[in-house]
């Protein structure tokens, strides 16, 4: 499949660990096997947590693993105009509204007695109770939290589906309008200090980079449902998704960036080889 384009999209907010190595190697190997392309994207919209030193370490670790990628590397902090244009478009179509709720306001609204119904949790936390929801008019406020009006979005999208290529899940994954309404709700598409959000940026950039296959951890499976909806709303092409198993620590816990003990840099310092890393994540048998 020569037209295959995949990517690795880390955030430079901490060291890469074994889970990242697994994701990057799977994507790179897939592109190599298909004679396709492998791209890198630095997801640095959270400027309060992104650091140039982490970015430099990402390049160094990936090179050490034997991965190479095309230049120039896309950096999300350079992509604000594209995100703003998409927000303008959604705003003009009445699909966004500003929200001034704090986390506490949301918790309080959700804790109001509701006949024993416990509030649903979506990929980004509790499903928003809709306190600020209205159809605003006039220009889009800057530096505001903007939420997607899910009910209005579903009038355009309805049920969605995508193709999953991971062998244990392979097939067509459908999300019903009802599941979007009750399990995801009015998600935030622009955060105050960022001017965008992970969900919005990732779909715009996957489309801009012509990504045909997205390789990501199973922890992002629910986020993918949001991405499919945004692609429909914004008229963007839909890649094939491959949600890979998560690399867990010895106690079965998922590795997170803060688990520096699992950082690739640590294994490197201890003398591990790239082949050892491939073995650790189950991509190569020991002794090869």
Residue numbers at the binding site for ligand GLU (CB under 6 A) = 9-11, 43, 202, 214, 216, 220
Q: Decide whether 11 or 196 has the Cβ nearer to ligand GLU.
A: 11
Q: Is 40 helix (H, G, I), strand (E, B) or coil?
A: strand
Q: Decide whether 10 or 274 has the Cβ nearer to ligand GLU.
A: 10
Query: Would you say 47 and 246 are in contact if contact means Cβ atoms under 8 Å apart?
Result: no
In the complex, least distance from residue 136 CB atom to ligand GLU, rounded to whole angstroms: 29
Report the relative pairing of strands 213-217 and 145-148 from DSSP bridges: unpaired
Residues sharing a CB contact under 8 Å with residue 173, sequence separation 6 or more, in sequence order: 161, 162, 163, 164
In the complex, least distance from residue 76 CB atom to ligand GLU, rounded to whole angstroms: 9
In the complex, least distance from residue 223 CB atom to ligand GLU, rounded to whole angstroms: 7
Q: Left, alpha or beta for 99 (phi > 0: left; psi -120 to 50: alpha)?
A: beta
Report the relative pairing of strands 5-8 and 37-42 from DSSP bridges: parallel
In the complex, least distance from residue 242 CB atom to ligand GLU, rounded to whole angstroms: 10
Q: Decide whether 30 or 202 has the Cβ nearer to ligand GLU.
A: 202
Distance CA 250, CA 56 (A): 29
Instruction: Residue count of the chain, please give it.
Output: 288
- Residue 61 is encoded by which pair of tokens? 């670790």
Q: What single-letter DSSP state applies at residue 213?
A: E
In the complex, least distance from residue 179 CB atom to ligand GLU, rounded to whole angstroms: 20
- Residue 288 is encoded by which pair of tokens? 């090869």
Residues sharing a CB contact under 8 Å with residue 103, sequence separation 6 or more, in sequence order: none
Q: Decide whether 47 or 273 has the Cβ nearer to ligand GLU.
A: 47
Q: Decide whether 52 or 138 has the Cβ nearer to ligand GLU.
A: 52
Q: Decide whether 91 or 244 has the Cβ nearer to ligand GLU.
A: 244
In the complex, least distance from residue 72 CB atom to ligand GLU, rounded to whole angstroms: 18
Q: Decide whether 220 or 233 has the Cβ nearer to ligand GLU.
A: 220
Distance CA 152, CA 186 (A): 10
In the complex, least distance from residue 7 CB atom to ligand GLU, rounded to whole angstroms: 8
């Amino acid at each position: 499949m020569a037209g295959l384009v995949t990517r690795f999209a880390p955030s430079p907010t901490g060291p890469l660990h074994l889970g990242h190595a697994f994701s990057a190697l799977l994507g790179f190997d897939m592109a190599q096997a298909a004679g396709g392309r492998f791209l890198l994207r630095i997801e640095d919209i959270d400027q309060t947590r992104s650091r140039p030193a982490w970015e430099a370490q990402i390049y160094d670790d990936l090179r050490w693993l034997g991965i190479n990628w095309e230049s120039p590397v896309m950096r999300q902090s350079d992509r604000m105009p594209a995100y703003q244009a998409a927000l303008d478009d959604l705003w003009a179509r009445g699909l966004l509204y500003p929200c001034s709720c704090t986390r506490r306001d949301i918790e309080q609204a959700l804790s109001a007695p509701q006949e024993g119904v416990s509030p649903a949790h979506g990929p980004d936390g509790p499903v928003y109770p809709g306190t600020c929801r209205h159809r605003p008019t006039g220009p889009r406020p800057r530096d505001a939290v903007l939420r997607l009006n899910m009910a209005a979005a579903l009038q355009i999208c309805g049920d969605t589906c995508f193709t999953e290529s991971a062998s244990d899940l392979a097939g067509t994954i459908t999300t019903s309008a009802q599941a979007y309404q009750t399990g995801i709700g009015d998600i935030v598409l622009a955060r105050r200090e960022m001017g965008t959000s992970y969900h919005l940026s990732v779909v715009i950039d996957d489309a801009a980079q012509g990504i045909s296959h997205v390789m990501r951890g199973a922890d992002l499976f629910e986020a993918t449902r949001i991405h499919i909806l945004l692609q429909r709303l914004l008229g963007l092409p839909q890649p094939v998704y491959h949600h890979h198993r998560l690399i867990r620590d010895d106690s079965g816990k998922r590795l997170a960036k803060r688990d520096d003990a699992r950082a690739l840099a640590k294994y490197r310092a201890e003398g591990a080889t790239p082949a050892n890393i491939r073995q650790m994540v189950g991509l190569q048998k020991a002794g090869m």
